[in-house]
């Protein structure tokens, strides 16, 4: 009953598109976003465009939280805090400098500011991630909730840092509107591709291992603390990026926007899509940003419906839409002849 | 000295309320290993019931010695039913699912209650003040040193602390001396084994929720009289009470009492001694306390550590 | 110098001295057994050696270097791999992924290479996948490559755990009751498998087992533990005839 030919690793990938072709395709996709964005700015109804951009921001938030919660299994309830740090970093800097720099903002500057927002948020992610050494499950949830609230409270109290206006409880207003379709979806592509490629690779498997069984993971040579902290740092980075995009979309920032409820809304997206499924998070982000727009008439009941949705979902299908599978997985990846 | 004593009394009075709420958290966590996020909102519902009953009572001009018991018992009854229903519909079906699922459901219930009551049809988002049932008057007072104003214990303080102590005593008697209480402790240790020993675990767990919710209702009524009533009032006290339960050792009933009183004291003393501009930091400070406890001594002051078998 | 040396190892939990005065050595390529009644402290010894517990007395040395108190992941990176008494697989991950995770330390490429899917990253992954496939073939698990580990039957799960441990390229393999719950047929196959593993991978193997027949037939030396203390050590024959060992398992003979 020997196999006709010995199974090899190449057989596993025989239908797969070579990586360099994918890379080229991605560059093309991002390049194509630019003219699409220009066209949208001109011809698309501004409300629809606004919703599209908010969907993009939601996707980044959900996918980045999924890395922490779904894939690495660390229950973080403070994601809005990371977003807030990025939003304020971007908002404060851009507002402050728009008066200094005459003329248009250079794309490079905006990229720089966005990355900086992400870095500030990931520094917080590092601080939050380190205690994960001692905490897990419920306790971690509460501690991350605490961090998020602390950040919100602190931002509420700070009116300015040196010469930079921050706004405090009055909020920060008149932030330049820079975000458009291109910037948002370029970052969506980067976020999804980076996280998906990281996680579904040799370097990324330990993230799953930490979720499945930490003790076994350690016994297999995995530094679990490193991976937990890495999940927080990377997840926080993209949350910070989403924050900058959001701040420059609406032009206004209020510390109250980044409270526990905001974190929960993102958690609902991850859970609805399926903890651990990147495509699930994307789908859920789209659904849960789009649907409330349709339910505008029920504004009063929106959060009630949200809450009911959450409860019903947990009772009926706790694994979410896609469970922990990805949309692109086929039924059987390989077909080795039975031995 | 005078300020210190007054703050001490205020702290104990507020702390008693936290302790009442914390008891509910700690009992539910003890049997289900679940952080009942919705518990703070049960407290809020207790306050709302108190408001509605108070309004009716004042309209009917009923005497104070009828009104107060009716309000307390009414709130306790209403919240007990609410707690029972929440457990039955939302947590029981998830008993054998991963704990994270129940946790998320609890968050959902909490959001549901808050937003339901914020809706104009139910209560509305604007805070309301209870019609005055009990003029808050000093009940005990004594002069300290050369200060003109005496240190005061108000009648509300007495009610708050008195009820808390009374509830604690009843609860302790119940848990330590009755068969049901023994069943409760058994279920806290091991749900499956308790069930194998013939204990009706469903009944025990329901009862835990009923008791915890009734206690939260008492806290809600007291705070309704002390402050005001609004649908989000459960958030901050709920978090502080939870932190109190963790501080005292989650799962430990005396721990909840100790933790609650400590939280109340710390909060009042900080408010009393720090300059006014730092008032808003007290909420953040509560979280800092929590994170410190979790890092330094997660089992709390009176709790016990569990070790995972490898 | 032996590959693994344990000297006067001891650990106490509160008032209970779980292990005391434990001495042991393992040389390259040896197959040694650790037996004793339930609760004797065998898994505790394994846990100390692999870094789960820190000993309160004594030392553990791997290739002369002290590893007592090191974190488990460091101990593994230095060359000790183990399986668990209650199987600890990554249940939600596929059989292939479970083994691939074992190769996590041998990954040379970095974050950037992973994200852009560089040539080097692709080649390394193929290489590891091939090694994993070969390993799974040795353990007769090829038919279930993509299935979640938790869907495997008990016997295959145990085999997978051993395969995964081997993927970490250890110098010493510590197996905690690998035959537990197996039927006689499976145990025979396991015995052959362990022998094959020793020959093919040149690892020292240290085995905790309750099945006496299995232990006596494949182990070169056996240490017997009771209430945390060593009561006998030697060849299978020596241990079998030792009255203290018989007493520990069967109790004192009636007069």
B105-124 tens-digit pLDDT: 998 999 899 988 988 777 88
C208 confidence band (pLDDT: 50, 70, 90): very high
Please give the interface size between A and C, counted as residue pairs whose CB atoms are below 8 Å apart.
134
Strand ranges (DSSP E) for A29-175? Answer: 160-161, 164-165
CA B41/CA B117 separation, integer angstroms: 10
With beta carbons less than 8 A apart as the criterion, state whether A40 and A168 touch: no
CA distance C126 to chain B (A): 34
pLDDT at B77 over 90: yes
CA B275/CA B266 separation, integer angstroms: 15
Q: Name the phi and psi angles at C65, rounded to 5.
A: -100, 135
Strand ranges (DSSP E) for B32-149? Answer: 138-142
With beta carbons less than 8 A apart as the criterion, state whether B158 and B139 touch: yes
Cα A85 to its chain centre, rounded Å, is 14
Residue recorded with tokens 């979806």: A185
Q: What is the pLDDT of residue A338?
A: 41
- B298/A139 Cβ within 8 A: yes
Residue A118: CB atoms within 10 Å: 29
Q: Who's near A179: CB < 8 A, 6+ residues apart?
A: A53, A245, A246, A248, A249
The reply to whether C57 touches chain B by the CB within 8 Å rule is: no
- Mean pLDDT, rounded, for B254-277: 82
CA distance C44 to chain B (A): 9
pTM: 0.88
pLDDT at A331 over 70: no
Q: What is the pLDDT of residue A339?
A: 36
Q: What is the pLDDT of residue A19?
A: 84
- Higher per-residue confidence, C222 vs B193: C222
The reply to whether C52 touches chain B by the CB within 8 Å rule is: yes
Q: What is the pLDDT of residue A220?
A: 94
C124 contacts on A by Cβ (under 8 Å): 202
| Closest residue on chain B to A143 (Cα) | B291
- At C107-139, the pLDDT tens digits run 777 788 888 888 888 888 888 989 999 999 889
Average per-residue pLDDT in chain A? 85
> ipTM value of the model?
0.90
- At B232-265, the pLDDT tens digits run 888 888 888 988 998 888 878 888 889 999 888 8
- Of the candidates B90, B295, B310, the beta carbon closest to that of A215 is on B310
pLDDT at B266 over 70: yes
- At C163-192, the pLDDT tens digits run 999 999 999 999 999 998 888 898 988 989
Residue B8 Cα distances to B20, B138, B166, B244, angstroms: 18, 16, 20, 17
The reply to whether A153 touches chain B by the CB within 8 Å rule is: yes
pLDDT at C207 over 90: yes
C143 contacts on A by Cβ (under 8 Å): 336, 338-339
Least confident of A141-150, C49-58, C63-72: A141-150
A333 confidence band (pLDDT: 50, 70, 90): very low
- Of the candidates A202, A212, A334, the beta carbon closest to that of C100 is on A202
Average per-residue pLDDT in chain B? 83
CA distance B90 to chain A (A): 7
The reply to whether C72 touches chain B by the CB within 8 Å rule is: no
With beta carbons less than 8 A apart as the criterion, state whether C76 and C168 touch: yes
pLDDT at B161 over 60: yes
Average per-residue pLDDT in chain C? 89
pLDDT at C1 over 90: no
Q: What is the pLDDT of residue A53?
A: 94
With beta carbons less than 8 A apart as the criterion, state whether C175 and C143 touch: no
- Higher per-residue confidence, B76 vs A44: B76
pLDDT at A134 over 60: yes
Q: What is the pLDDT of residue C33?
A: 93
Least confident of A50-59, A60-69, C2-11: C2-11
CA angle A184, A188, A190 (to 5 degrees): 115
With beta carbons less than 8 A apart as the criterion, state whether A71 and A202 touch: no
A4 confidence band (pLDDT: 50, 70, 90): very low
Q: What is the pLDDT of residue B280?
A: 67
- C127/A9 Cβ within 8 A: yes
A335 confidence band (pLDDT: 50, 70, 90): very low
The reply to whether B105 touches chain A by the CB within 8 Å rule is: yes
Q: Who's near B10: CB < 8 A, 6+ residues apart?
A: B157, B268
- At A84-120, the pLDDT tens digits run 999 999 998 888 877 766 666 678 888 999 999 999 9
pLDDT at A1 over 60: no
Cα B168 to its chain centre, rounded Å, is 12
**Burial grade of B30 (CB within 10 A; 0-12, 13-18, 19 or more):** buried
* B173-211 as b/e: b if 16+ CB within 10 A: eebeeeeebebbebbbeebeebeeeebebeebbbbbbbb
With beta carbons less than 8 A apart as the criterion, state whether B35 and B106 touch: yes
Three-state DSSP class for A331? coil
Q: Who's near A281: CB < 8 A, 6+ residues apart?
A: A59, A62, A63, A65, A66, A70, A269, A270, A273, A274
C48 confidence band (pLDDT: 50, 70, 90): very high
Could you tell me which chains touch chain A, where touching means 3 or more CB pairs under 8 A? B, C
With beta carbons less than 8 A apart as the criterion, state whether B46 and B216 touch: yes
Instruction: Quote the tokens at residue B55.
Output: 């309004």
The percentage of chain C sitting over the pLDDT mark of 70, rounded to a whole number, equals 98
């Amino acid at each position: 009953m020997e196999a006709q030919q010995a199974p090899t690793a190449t057989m596993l990938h025989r239908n797969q598109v070579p990586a360099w072709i994918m890379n080229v395709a991605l560059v093309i996709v991002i390049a194509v976003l630019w003219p699409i964005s220009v066209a949208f700015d001109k011809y698309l109804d501004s409300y629809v465009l606004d919703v599209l951009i908010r969907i993009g921001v939601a996707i980044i938030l959900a996918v980045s939280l999924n890395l922490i919660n779904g894939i690495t299994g660390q229950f973080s309830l403070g994601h809005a805090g990371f977003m807030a740090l990025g939003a304020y970093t971007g908002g404060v800097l851009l507002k402050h400098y728009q008066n200094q720099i005459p003329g248009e903002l250079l794309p490079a500057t905006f990229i720089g500011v966005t990355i900086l927002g992400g870095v500030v948020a990931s520094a917080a992610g590092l601080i939050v991630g380190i205690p994960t050494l001692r905490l897990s499950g419920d306790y971690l949830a509460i501690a991350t909730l605490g961090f998020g609230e602390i950040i919100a409270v602190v931002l509420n109290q700070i009116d300015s840092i040196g010469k930079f206006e921050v706004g405090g409880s009055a909020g920060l207003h008149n932030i330049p509107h820079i975000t458009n379709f291109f910037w948002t979806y370029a970052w969506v592509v980067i976020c999804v591709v980076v996280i998906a490629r990281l996680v579904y690779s040799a370097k990324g498997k330990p993230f799953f291992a930490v979720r499945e069984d930490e003790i076994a993971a350690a016994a297999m040579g995995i530094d679990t603390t490193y991976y937990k902290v890495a999940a927080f740092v990377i997840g926080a980075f993209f949350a910070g990026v989403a924050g900058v995009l959001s701040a420059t979309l609406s032009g206004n920032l209020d510390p109250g926007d980044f409270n526990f409820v905001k974190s929960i809304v993102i958690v609902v997206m991850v859970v609805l899509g399926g903890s651990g499924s990147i495509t699930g998070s994307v789908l859920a982000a789209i659904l849960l940003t789009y649907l409330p727009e349709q339910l505008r008439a029920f504004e009063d009941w929106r959060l009630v419906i949200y809450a009911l949705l959450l409860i019903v979902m947990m009772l009926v299908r706790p694994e979410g839409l896609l469970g922990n599978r990805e949309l692109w997985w086929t039924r059987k990846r390989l077909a080795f002849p039975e031995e | 000295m005078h300020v210190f004593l007054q703050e001490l009394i205020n702290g104990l009075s507020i702390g008693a309320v936290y302790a009442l709420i914390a008891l509910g958290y700690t009992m539910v966590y003890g049997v289900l290993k679940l952080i009942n996020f919705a518990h703070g909102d049960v407290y809020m519902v207790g306050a709302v019931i108190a408001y509605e009953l108070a309004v009716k009572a004042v309209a009917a001009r009923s005497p104070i010695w009828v009104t107060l018991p009716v309000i307390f018992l009414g709130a306790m009854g209403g919240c007990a039913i609410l707690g029972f229903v929440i457990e039955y519909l939302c947590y029981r079906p998830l008993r054998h699912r991963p704990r994270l699922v129940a946790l998320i459901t609890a968050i959902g219930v909490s959001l549901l209650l808050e937003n339901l009551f914020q809706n104009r049809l139910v209560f509305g988002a604007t805070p309301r003040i209870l019609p005055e049932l009990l003029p808050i008057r000093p009940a005990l007072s004594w002069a300290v040193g050369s200060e003109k104003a005496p240190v005061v214990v108000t009648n509300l303080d007495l009610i708050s602390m008195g009820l808390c102590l009374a509830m604690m005593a009843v609860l302790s008697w119940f848990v330590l001396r009755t068969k049901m209480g023994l069943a409760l402790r058994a279920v806290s240790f091991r749900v499956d084994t308790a069930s194998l020993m013939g204990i009706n675990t469903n009944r025990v767990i329901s009862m835990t929720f009923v008791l915890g919710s009734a206690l939260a209702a008492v806290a809600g009524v007291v705070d309704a009289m002390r402050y005001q009533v609004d649908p989000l009032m459960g958030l901050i006290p709920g978090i502080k009470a939870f932190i109190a339960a963790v501080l005292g050792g989650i799962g430990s009933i005396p721990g909840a009492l100790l933790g609650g009183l400590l939280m109340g004291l710390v909060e009042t003393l900080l408010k009393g001694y720090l300059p006014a501009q730092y008032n808003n930091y007290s909420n953040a400070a509560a979280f800092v306390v929590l994170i410190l406890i979790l890092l330094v001594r997660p089992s709390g002051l009176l709790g016990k550590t569990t070790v995972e078998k490898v | 110098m032996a590959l693994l040396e344990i000297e006067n190892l001891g650990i106490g939990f509160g008032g209970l001295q779980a292990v005391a005065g434990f001495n042991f050595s393992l040389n390259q390529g040896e197959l040694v057994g650790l037996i004793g009644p339930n609760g004797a402290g065998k898994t505790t010894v394994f846990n100390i050696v692999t870094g789960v517990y820190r000993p309160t007395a004594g030392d553990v040395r791997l290739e002369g270097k002290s590893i007592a108190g090191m974190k488990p992941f460091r101990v593994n990176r230095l060359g000790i791999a183990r399986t668990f008494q209650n199987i600890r697989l990554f249940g939600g991950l596929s059989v292939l992924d479970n083994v691939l995770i074992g190769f996590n330390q041998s990954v040379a490429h970095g974050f950037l290479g992973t994200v852009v899917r560089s040539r080097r990253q692709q080649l390394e992954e193929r290489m590891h996948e091939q090694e994993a496939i070969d390993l799974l073939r040795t353990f007769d698990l090829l038919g279930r490559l993509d299935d979640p580990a938790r869907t495997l039957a008990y016997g295959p799960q145990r085999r997978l755990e051993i395969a995964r441990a081997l993927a970490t390229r250890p110098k010493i393999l510590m197996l905690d009751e690998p035959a537990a719950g197996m039927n006689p047929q499976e145990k025979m196959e396991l015995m052959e498998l362990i022998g094959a593993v020793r020959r093919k991978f040149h690892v020292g193997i240290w085995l905790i087992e309750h099945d006496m027949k299995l232990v006596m037939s494949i182990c070169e030396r056996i240490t017997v533990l009771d209430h945390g203390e060593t009561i006998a050590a030697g060849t299978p024959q020596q241990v079998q005839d030792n009255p203290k060992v018989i007493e520990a398992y069967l109790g004192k003979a009636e007069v």
